[in-house]
Amino acid sequence: MRMLFVVDPLDGLLPAHDTSVALMEAARADGHEVLATTMRELSVVGGGAVARAVRVQVDPCRLVDGRFVAPQQWYRAEPVGDVPLADVDVVLVRTDPPVDADYLRGTYVLDAARAPRTLLVNDPRGLREVNEKLYTLRYPDLIPETVVRADLDGLRDTVARWGRAVLTPTDAMAGRGILLLRDDDPNLASLLELSTGRGRSHVILQRFVPEAVDGDRRVIVVDGEPVGAIRRVAAGTEFRCNMAAGATVLPDAVTSRDKEICDVLAPDLRALGIVLAGLDVIGDRLTEVNVTSPTGAREIEALTGAPVARVVVERIVDLHARRGTA
């Protein structure tokens, strides 16, 4: 099978951590051809999507003392020129946020890749529709109490009513800009002004979930089913549980609550062509649905032994086969 990865430049990936690299390794181990390109190298020619691509050979990371270690030169790339996406079996779109104008333009180019042979993971329509911070608003029974607003008075009143709240920008990643707000903080007004650009930009406020002191959980979901989980615990006095903010990663397992959440989300995600997602959960509350480049496969395998990347590739291959017989 021919798989094309739409990723950030290969030289910038962190192979011992990056789920995209883990998926490439799993695909190569199963005998699939791996190609790579970037959003910028996608084009539409003659009505069809084309990628300026390289063929990738991967030198796999090794598990040493509970963590993956990458070889100094983890990949070799052979230019293959322009590849029509109609000649590719699976296109895995895994470019990191931000979902800005350039990213959105790339998804419209990928719309031209729809062909009988080609499975898009994730579908560009779903990538546009599922805002990773705001999509959860469709499921009020699953999430913490949440408001989205820009006006400073309304935000201050909400924090005063709740006592503690977590503020999240609508378009950031890796924990950037997330704040823990307290109604008795003398800096509260200034923090709200800075976060909203003096009331010009919407932010997300969520009532603080007490279970957050025990960390949050990343659950990897493939075709609506949870296949692995880890727990992320904030470092020191930090309250953000993102790995990019130095969080400690601990082994965990898929719970019955994870399955309940997935049962609710699965029909909608499938309808949008979201095959691979990463759910963030605090306590029993859903907080994010990550679809651009959900990570965690390396950590899950290192800590639990669950071969998540291999499972993901096998599920994608099975989905492709089922499309061909539908």
**103: three-class secondary structure by DSSP:** helix
Q: Where are the beta strands (DSSP E) in 116-163?
A: 119-121, 146-149
User: In what side-by-side order are the strands of the sheet with 276-282?
Assistant: 248-251, 225-233, 216-222, 276-282, 285-290
Tens digits of residue pLDDT in 272-326: 999 999 999 999 999 999 999 999 999 999 999 999 999 999 999 999 999 765 5
> Which pLDDT value is given to residue 213?
87
Tens digits of residue pLDDT in 152-171: 999 999 999 999 999 999 88
> Which pLDDT value is given to residue 96?
94
Contact 1, 89 (CB under 8 A): yes
> Which pLDDT value is given to residue 176?
74
Considering the four listed CATH numbers 2.30.42.10, 3.40.50.720, 3.30.470.20, 3.30.428.10, the one that applies to the domain covering 211-325 is 3.30.470.20
pLDDT at 227 over 70: yes
> Which pLDDT value is given to residue 323?
79
Backbone angles phi, psi at 45, to 5 degrees: -130, 125
Distance, in Å, from the CA atom of 284 to the CA atom of 36, rounded to the nearest integer, reads 37
Distance, in Å, from the CA atom of 95 to the CA atom of 73, rounded to the nearest integer, reads 22
> Which pLDDT value is given to residue 105?
95
> Which pLDDT value is given to residue 173?
63
> Which pLDDT value is given to residue 177?
80
Tens digits of residue pLDDT in 24-43: 999 999 999 999 999 999 99
Residues of the chain with CATH 3.30.1490.20: 145-208
Q: Is domain 145-208 annotated with CATH 1.10.3330.10?
A: no
End-to-end Cα separation, the chain, in angstroms:
19
Residues of the chain with CATH 3.30.470.20: 211-325
Residue 38: Cβ-neighbour burial (10 angstroms; 0-12, 13-18, 19+):
middle
Tens digits of residue pLDDT in 85-125: 999 999 999 999 989 999 999 999 999 999 999 999 999 99
From 9, 75, 12, 86, select the one nearest 40 (Cα to Cα): 9
From 199, 139, 203, select the one nearest 177 (Cα to Cα): 203
pLDDT at 238 over 70: no
Residues of the chain with CATH 3.40.50.20: 2-126
Arch. (CATH architecture) of 2-126 = 3-Layer(aba) Sandwich (3.40)
- Mention every residue, 6+ apart, whose C-beta is less than 8 A from residue 179: 166, 167, 191, 195
